[in-house]
Structure 1
Amino acid sequence: MLCAGRASTWLISVLCVALAGLLTAQPRTFKIAFYNIRSGIGIQPLGRRAAPFAETVNCDAKSGPINAWGAGIVQAELVKSIKNDPLVIALGLAEAWNCGSPAHVRETLGWKADSSERNGVALVARYGFSGNVEWLELDTTNNKNPRDTMWIVRGAVCLDAPCSGSIDMYAAHWAGTGPRGRETYDRQAQQSIEFMAKSAGPRALLGDLNVFEANAGVCGQQPNNTSLTYLRRAGYVDAWPTIHRESEGYTGMLNRRGCGIPEGYVWKRIDYAWSKNLPPVNIQRFGGVPPGEAAPSDHLGIVVEYAVPAVIFNGDYGENGSTQRSRATEKQLLSVAPLLRVMPLPP
């Protein structure tokens, strides 16, 4: 019995040391990003400033004037801000049509996988996905054009090349129009929360939610101070004010005539990173230009950094969180099992 007790104590000690080393060896943080890519069209400059591309869906010089994608401007921004940062493991997209399709973005980044797109919403993953991506069409019944569908997509994004762990990332595009627009936004918020509830572990929602909060209207538009409260009540954390406090964090809209200070600067925050059980470490914007100059899109993109959770919920998620947690722990134990076979038992 004494020998058995010593062996058990030794085994526990070895496992603890091995697991600690395993967790320490993993990256401490990871980043995910989001960009309304405006189909690669770009946004024209204001006034008489030079326009390096045309306002067109065409990106093939053989077919006529080309847009920002055809001029290589969007790709240059993606490479600089996304591809060249090794911590960025996934990019969510909105308006990812035509030249700015998920496949074209994936090829530009040299990444492993993309989700395809549903009315422009997509995910692109550096190391691929663990399991299948899932979609939910959001309610647009009462919008002026109900056929202009809105979507949210979920992918378990691999943290590294062997996909030893993954994190649930959601990308979304909301829109509410017409006299019942506010009601539509509220419904889309609730649907998004219900969809994300299937995640057993930490999760993040990045998207163009088309909602900005303020005390008064700006540039002829009125704020929406109700729809995002659903996310807060459900325990989601808004990364920008968490990190930057009172800093404005605007992401739209570049080069809108008569809007922005100075004119051409962004003037509302509508692109967000929300997370649950996943505290943000940092968040920054990308895709900016001097106000009034031609830009890769009319939105700024966002890149948010999170600490790697202690336990990663890998693969498809079920209702039983404890079962998933046990499987994750089992996977970690199996990864250190070879160490036990080469270590002698204590005398």
Structure 2
Amino acid sequence: MLPLVLLTTACGGVPEVQGDLLQVMTFNIRWPAPTDGPNQWRFRRDAMAEYLLEADPQLAALQEVADEQLAFLAADGEPLRWAPPANVLMRSARDVAWIDTTTVALPGGDYPRAAVLVAFEWRGRRGTFVAAHLNGGPDALAQVELLLARLAGWPRPWIVAGDFNAFTQPEDRCPVLDRYRVVLCNRAADRLRAAGFVDAWAAVHGEAPGSTGTGFEPPEDRWWPPFDARIDWIMATPEAVPVAVEIDDPLTPADRPLSDHRPVRAWFRLPGPAPTARSPGT
């Protein structure tokens, strides 16, 4: 593997003791577009594999994973579930047991979208992890409504991670920043909040802005929007308490970003396992 440069944006930092915290990740790894020049997949793939190995999340939602990327990333032997043609990949560590899993095709939009649901057990604790890739614009609401309907009956807490194609700006900002009109008007995160989900980044960092796009530019050359520019999200129901959240900025040895998105990682404290039933008289 090639050496990896890893920068982070995290006001609270990564918890020093992670043994009892579930780490989840979302990362749009960018499909292998032949027009990407120096950012083509063949220049990124070794550093990408090294980053995922180093980060070592228990559960990861990866988007835009094409066939050749799947074959490369599957070489490490971690459990995977892939949702073509939407190219969403659910990846987990070996210490996570899968109780049930399904793929949900999401409606609307010019591109196929999907989500992968996995009911999991980790260290005696259960929950459901959703790896998703949503559309920008009005289709997102219908996609979230379908996800919420499908989650009914699955074990809680529910953790949804993915590329939402959505910023957090209010409706009246849409005409001001025409370049981002579609994503600014996206209400997917608001609908999840209304359903009781908590934005992990905001829970840990408050109103501190974050940005998860790179444009394949190194950090010093990047245009940073003057607002909270996260389009990659991790949200969870209140039973899962976010302890730390960071937005990484991994670079290749050539100082190029691994993707046009930045990965987001969150560490959750989950509800404890149910007490073991005792025999009468003990």
Which TM-score band (shorter chain)?
0.7 to 0.9
How far apart, CA to CA, are the structure 2 residues paired with 1:239 and 1:271?
11
1:61-119 CA distance string (max 9 Å, x none): xxxxx3321xx22122222223xxxxx31111100113321x532434x52x1112322
1:91 to 2:60 alignment: yes
Indicate if the aligned counterparts of 2:202 and 2:208 stay in contact, CA closer than 8 A: yes
Shift of 1:303: 1.0
1:179-208 CA distance string (max 9 Å, x none): xx32x1221121222222232421100010
Query: Residue 244 of structure 1 is aligned with which of 186, 199, 205?
Result: 205
Secondary structure, in 3 states, of the residue corresponding to 2:188?
coil
Indicate if the aligned counterparts of 1:40 and 1:74 stay in contact, CA closer than 8 A: no
1:279 to 2:238 alignment: no
Secondary structure, in 3 states, of the residue corresponding to 2:115?
strand
Query: Residue 235 of structure 1 is aligned with which of 174, 178, 196?
Result: 196
Shift of 1:126: 0.8
**Residue 303 of structure 1 aligns with which residue?**
265
Structure 2 letter corresponding to 1:154 = L
Residue 79 and residue 274 in structure 1: after superposition, are their counterparts in 2 closer, same or farther (change >3 A)?
same
1:110-137 CA distance string (max 9 Å, x none): 52x1112322112111125423311111
Structure whose residues are more often helix by fraction: 1
Indicate if the aligned counterparts of 1:42 and 1:297 stay in contact, CA closer than 8 A: no
Query: Residue 37 of structure 1 is aligned with which of 2, 16, 29?
Result: 29
1:187 to 2:142 alignment: yes
Indicate if the aligned counterparts of 2:140 and 2:186 stay in contact, CA closer than 8 A: no
RMSD: 3.2
Is the deviation greater in 226-235 or in 205-214? 226-235
1:281-321 CA distance string (max 9 Å, x none): 1111223459x95111010011111113123xxxxxxxxxx
Query: Residue 220 of structure 1 is aligned with which of 151, 175, 179?
Result: 179
Indicate if the aligned counterparts of 1:137 and 1:152 stay in contact, CA closer than 8 A: yes
Runs of 5+ in structure 1 lacking a partner? 1-25, 45-52, 58-65, 83-87, 312-327
Indicate if the aligned counterparts of 1:170 and 1:205 stay in contact, CA closer than 8 A: yes
Identity of aligned residues (%): 19
Query: Which structure is larger by alpha-carbon Rg, 1 or 2?
Result: 1
Residue 264 and residue 219 in structure 1: after superposition, are their counterparts in 2 closer, same or farther (change >3 A)?
farther
Shift of 1:27: 4.6
1:122 to 2:84 alignment: no
Shift of 1:171: 0.7
**Residue 151 of structure 2 aligns with which residue?**
196
How far apart, CA to CA, are the structure 1 residues paired with 2:120 and 2:152?
17
Structure 1 letter corresponding to 2:118 = G
Aligned ranges 1:142-153 → 2 under 5 Å: 143=109, 145=110, 148-153=111-116
Runs of 5+ in structure 2 lacking a partner? 1-17
How far apart, CA to CA, are the structure 2 residues paired with 1:264 and 1:274?
26
How far apart, CA to CA, are the structure 2 residues paired with 1:120 and 1:130?
20
1:157 to 2:104 alignment: no
> Taking CA–CA contacts closer than 8 Å with sequence separation of 6 or more, which of the two structures ends up with the larger relative contact order?
2
Structure 1 letter corresponding to 2:51 = E
Residue 220 and residue 209 in structure 1: after superposition, are their counterparts in 2 closer, same or farther (change >3 A)?
same
Structure whose residues are more often strand by fraction: 2
Residue 194 and residue 34 in structure 1: after superposition, are their counterparts in 2 closer, same or farther (change >3 A)?
same
Query: Residue 79 of structure 1 is aligned with which of 53, 70, 88?
Result: 53
Secondary structure, in 3 states, of the residue corresponding to 1:213?
coil
Indicate if the aligned counterparts of 2:164 and 2:188 stay in contact, CA closer than 8 A: no
**Residue 255 of structure 1 aligns with which residue?**
216
Secondary structure, in 3 states, of the residue corresponding to 2:179?
coil
Query: Residue 134 of structure 2 is aligned with which of 171, 174, 180?
Result: 174
Residue 261 and residue 129 in structure 1: after superposition, are their counterparts in 2 closer, same or farther (change >3 A)?
closer
Across the two proteins, how many residue pairs are aligned to each other? 252
Secondary structure, in 3 states, of the residue corresponding to 1:133?
strand
Residue 310 and residue 188 in structure 1: after superposition, are their counterparts in 2 closer, same or farther (change >3 A)?
same
How far apart, CA to CA, are the structure 2 residues paired with 1:175 and 1:55?
24
Structure 2 letter corresponding to 1:192 = L
How far apart, CA to CA, are the structure 1 residues paired with 2:230 and 2:147?
19
Indicate if the aligned counterparts of 2:100 and 2:118 stay in contact, CA closer than 8 A: yes
Structure 2 length as normaliser, TM-score? Answer: 0.77
**Residue 62 of structure 1 aligns with which residue?**
none
